[in-house]
A and B are shown apart, each in its own frame.
Chain A
Amino acid sequence: MKKIWWILLVMVFYSQMGARMVSAEVIAIGNQSVPVASLSLSEVQDIFLGKTVKWQDGSKINFAVLKGDIHAEFLKAFIKRTDSQFTAYWKQMLFTGKGGLPKNFETEKEMVQYVSETPGAIGYINKTTAPEKTKVISVN
């Protein structure tokens, strides 16, 4: 029984260590109208899980996701869920009427274009991609 408690304790420790490490590969970007310059990790999670739907000024949050490796990296570093868990979460929202599936894009170029043109939009890209006409939102 003691062993089980130790294993659980180590799991919790590692999960919390991970929660405080933000990805070095992925950055969050927002539309110029977004009224924040930085967000906490839990605020990012609440946005991408549809729990927070409005910015502080009352305007609507429009978030978008990518497909592929950058998406997986973003989920791991920011949302603390696997791709399967994130997909299952949004299917739950969809089939209980609580929300529609997130807008998603195949390429970072499409993502940057959507975020730059959509008021209240937030998304993410690889840090090597140019965040044209958007603003980088730091995540603590």
Chain B
Amino acid sequence: MRKYMLMILVGWMVCAGGAGAVDLGDVAIHGFISQGYLQSDKYNYLSVRTDEGSFETNEMGLNFTSQLTDDLRVGAQLFAMDIGEYGNDEITVDWAYGDYRLHNMLGFRAGKFKIAHGLYNETRDIDAVRTYVFLPRAIYDPSTRDTFAGMKGVNLYGELPLGFSYHASYGMVPPDKKGKISKDLAEYAEYEVRDSIGVAVRNVVIAQTTAAYIAAGFPPAQAAAMAETAASITAAEYVGNTSIVTGIEDMRSKNGKNFALRWSPPFLNGLRLSTTYFGSEVELDLNLNVDQPALPGRADPPAQTIPVKIKLDEVSSWVYSLEYTFSNLVLFGEYDRIKVDTRDAPTIDIEGWSAGASYRFSYWFELGGYYSDYCTDIDDRGGEKLKKRGEPAAVRWLRDACLSARFDVNDYWLFKLEGHVMRGLDEVDWKVSTPAGETPDEGWYLFAAKVTYNF
């Protein structure tokens, strides 16, 4: 399937020589394909081998739409992306829905559609519509876009008087147990819900040890007492010393809610204000690799895998945004707050903000820049919790000053060159290039280049 999609896109690029969309009767076909190159001065970023320079970043999409009646449109977009260990060019349905527009103020969609998150999440896959290779990390984490891009369910939308518009969705975020979000949640669960995991693990170990003693010929009561003694360390210590997440068996989400209210004030042309909310309940089934407690007469017990279920009450996000367009100049600012709530552990509170500007000098040349500040836990801004785990404090944040140049060859081809001055190690593989025992330098540079074709 991936091969066919690539063949269609490349075939179109070669044969059409820069022509526009395909129109097969009532069905319009459009597409895009982008190839990037990343190089950093010392670390690997987003699990890409950027220290050596890597082409392991690309995306492609192909969509089909048809206007069935004046009020009803249907369409779907196939999409594949790759960035390091995420995406891996697996073809997914990016969006696919029926759209019934009853009135200017009320439209209805059913199927899979994009999640409104800040001003640019819905269009983050489309390189051709923005100045930058990377949108600000503080709001748009590139490693989570495969899971955070769309949701299945129903959606109401419309335009209201005085320049307001709204978007309200209910449904579910299709779970991706291989994605960055599930990995982050698993890590969160291992470190932050340790007590409850400990209790679960300890109960399983006691049951298994008891069974082992009974099989060895001990009476049940004595076997249970011996097993209890063998596991007589606190749950927290137990898991703290021995657990490792070895696999994510399953991930489920439900009660997904997405809401956006946007305002373009009629009295101030060019200004756009926006607030978006996204929330979902998430459940994870993990496998923990746990060393068994030593049994009398049995040295060096084997490790065992124990299943643990983690329920997060809600993962939620609020983004507040402002954009002002004045002729060829675009200014923007966004603030994001993501919270992970559970009954068993303190809320994780993630914060990010960014601000930037871009200016188009001519048809073919645009220059832009932004600053982005991302902190993965505002209750631990200094990274003290991380230090206790033996990680550098700078893993807690990523501050990014970006300068980007965009060159439009024609309406279909464009390329970009971009530099990032980074401070912080979030999503950075610092272990590879830092000698054991040394604290890694939190300052580093990233260069990105990208070429895109769209029709």
Interface set of A (CB-CB < 8 Å, partner B)? 11-12, 14-16, 18-19, 42, 46, 51-54, 60, 80-85, 87-89, 91-92, 94-98, 100-101
Which candidate, B218-226, B282-290, B324-332, B423-431, is the interface stretch facing chain A?
Answer: B324-332
Chain B, interface size: which category?
A: 35 or more
Contact with A along B175-213 (1 / 0, CB 8 A): 000000000000000000000000000000000000000
Q: Decide if B343 is an interface residue (CB 8 Å cutoff).
A: no
User: Contact between A51 and B159 (Cβ–Cβ < 8 Å)?
Assistant: yes
Q: B21, B32, B65, B325: which contacts A97 (Cβ < 8 A)?
A: B65
Chain A CB within 8 A of B360 CB: yes
Q: Are A95 and B104 in contact (CB under 8 A)?
A: no
* B165 near A82: Cβ-Cβ < 8 Å: no
Scan residues 51-72 of chain B and give those whose CB is less than 8 A from a CB of chain A. Answer: 61, 63, 65, 67, 70-71
Is B268 in contact with A82, judged by CB distance below 8 angstroms?
no
- Assuming A53-B101, A97-B95, A101-B21, is B61 touching A84 (CB within 8 A)? no
| Complex contact B363–A80 (CB within 8 A) | no
A95's partner among B125, B163, B327 (CB-CB below 8 A) is B125
**Residues of B with C-beta under 8 A to A85:** 325
**Tally of A-B Cβ pairs under 8 angstroms:** 91
| B positions within 8 Å CB-CB of A | 21, 28, 30, 32, 61, 63, 65, 67, 70-71, 73, 75-77, 95, 97, 99, 101, 103-104, 113-114, 122-123, 125-126, 128-130, 159, 163, 165, 266-270, 325-329, 360, 363, 366, 408, 411, 454
Where chain B touches its partner, the secondary structure class is: strand
Give the complex CA separation of A42 and B165 in angstroms. 14
A36 to chain B, nearest CB (A): 14
Q: Output the nearest chain B residue to A18 by Cβ-Cβ distance.
A: B269
Min Cβ gap B133→A in Å is 16
CB-based nearest B residue for A82: B328
- Given known pairs A51-B165, A92-B129, the reply for A15 and B363 (CB within 8 Å) is no
> How long is the Cα–Cα vector from A40 to B128 in the complex, in angstroms?
31
- Shortest Cβ gap from A5 to chain B (Å): 13
Question: Which chain B residues lie closer than 8 Å to A81 at the CB level?
Answer: 325
| Minimum-distance CB pairs A-B, first 5 | A19-B269, A60-B70, A88-B129, A95-B126, A92-B123
A83 proximity list for chain B (CB < 8 A) = 363
